Amino acid sequence: MIQKIWFAFISNTIQLGLFFYSKKITVRGRKNVPKKGAVLFAVNHPNGLVDPLYVSTTNGRRNHFLVRAASFKKPIIKKILESLNLMPIYRIRDGIQQLANNQEIFEKCFKILHKEDTLMIFPEGSHNKKRTVRLLSKGFTRIVSGALEKHPELEIQVVPVGITYQHASSFPSKVVVRYGHPIATRTIFEANAPAKAINILKAAVTTQLKELSVHIPDDENYDAVLQQLNDAQVDFTQVDQVNKMIESGIFPKPKKGKKNFLKPLLYLIQLNSILPFLIWKTILKKIDEIEFVDTFRFSLNLVLIPIFYSVQAWILGVAFGTLVGFFYLTISALLILLYAKCAPTNTKSHIELDS
């Protein structure tokens, strides 16, 4: 019971944090998510640990996650992640001897699906900002086939999920989460040999992911196509329109991005949040993967900003009265919301920033 209350509290806090952090969150195809039964969400992975946050707060189911084992190194962090239904998945880069630990994790996944809960997996195997759907690993198909082998009566629906950002790692950014059509897996594995069933499932998920997210084929034309889309300042969250441009090779004419007239407001917010801002600037220098910029910035702001503003509001309340402290806290929150919802979200003008 306590764990459920804790999970609900964290989930609602994250959902509120994402509302303040994002210019716009669009959700498509939510009706495709089965309300009951075992579901495996197969999600593309462009932007670190914020990807599962956007999915888990928009699908109406209580989710279990598989994330990179490196996130579990510190004991305190490990306990917190486990309390939020996160489980480590080990890769070759974690050491060959660690791969044996995956069998225990797979067994937990089998139990989760047998209980008709949901599991979220990123079958591309790693995050990458490139606007392309990469080759899928066999990990998620092993979980599906293993669960069906242990529980032949079970039906597991695989729901592909595409996430597309206007520009990942920038603040604020628009994001669209699109849920695809459920893929019934038991029929696939009953009607085909295991190897063929795995290929059929991977192909079905890949096809949907290429439709659910912006997909630029990763070939010699990738950079040129991306540059034309960026130069045209296209809205990448309009996935179908952008994919039609990519498929046809016909792109809008280049145009300048919108000028950010709210930049002074951003400087005011940074001044009002000076301690969290300085901590962030220090941490930013140590981040060696751009896909983790949003992860750390969002997590830091989610924790430090409420604490810092509350302390400042308390000081003002003691000095000038409770009403002054209350107005300071309210206005500070509204300023962040105003900037997040109204600042322009232009695409970057240089290829290297998006690849």
**Is residue 133 domain-resident?**
yes
**Is residue 127 domain-resident?**
yes
Q: Is the pLDDT of residue 75 over 80?
A: no
Q: Across all residues in the chain, what is the average pLDDT?
A: 91
Q: State the pLDDT at residue 351.
A: 33
Same domain for 193 and 61, yes or no, is yes
Residue closest to 166 by CA, chosen among 88, 258, 74: 258
pTM of the predicted model, to two decimals? 0.91
Q: State the pLDDT at residue 67.
A: 77
Q: State the pLDDT at residue 81.
A: 77
Same domain for 143 and 287, yes or no, is no
* Segment (H or E) for 65: strand 63-68
Query: What would the pLDDT profile of 288-342 be if each residue is shown by its tens digit?
Result: 889 899 999 999 999 999 999 999 999 999 999 999 999 999 999 999 999 999 9
Q: Is the pLDDT of residue 9 over 70?
A: yes
Long-range contacts of 222-231 (CB under 8 A, 24+ apart): 222/130, 222/132, 222/355, 223/351, 223/355, 226/131, 226/351, 226/354, 226/355, 227/351, 228/254, 229/347, 230/347, 230/348, 230/349, 230/351, 230/354, 231/255, 231/349
Same domain for 136 and 165, yes or no, is yes
**Is residue 47 domain-resident?**
yes
Q: In this structure, what token pair is assigned to residue 350? A: 């240089």
**Is residue 240 domain-resident?**
yes
Domain endpoint, select from 236, 255, 274: 255
Domain endpoint, select from 212, 247, 280: 212
* Total structural domains within the chain: 3
Same domain for 149 and 273, yes or no, is no
Same domain for 226 and 138, yes or no, is no
Could you tell me the residue range of the domain that residue 46 belongs to?
A: 2-9+24-212
Same domain for 249 and 228, yes or no, is yes
**Is residue 347 domain-resident?**
no
Same domain for 168 and 194, yes or no, is yes
Same domain for 242 and 326, yes or no, is no
* Range 277-288 average pLDDT: 94
**Is residue 351 domain-resident?**
no
**Is residue 18 domain-resident?**
no
Same domain for 241 and 290, yes or no, is no
Query: What would the pLDDT profile of 189-208 be if each residue is shown by its tens digit?
Result: 999 999 999 999 999 999 99
Query: What would the pLDDT profile of 109-160 be if each residue is shown by its tens digit?
Result: 999 999 999 999 999 988 899 999 999 988 899 999 999 999 999 999 999 9
Same domain for 89 and 175, yes or no, is yes
Q: State the pLDDT at residue 313.
A: 98
Instruction: List the beta strands (DSSP E) in 277-330.
Output: none
Q: State the pLDDT at residue 315.
A: 97
Same domain for 189 and 230, yes or no, is no
Same domain for 186 and 308, yes or no, is no
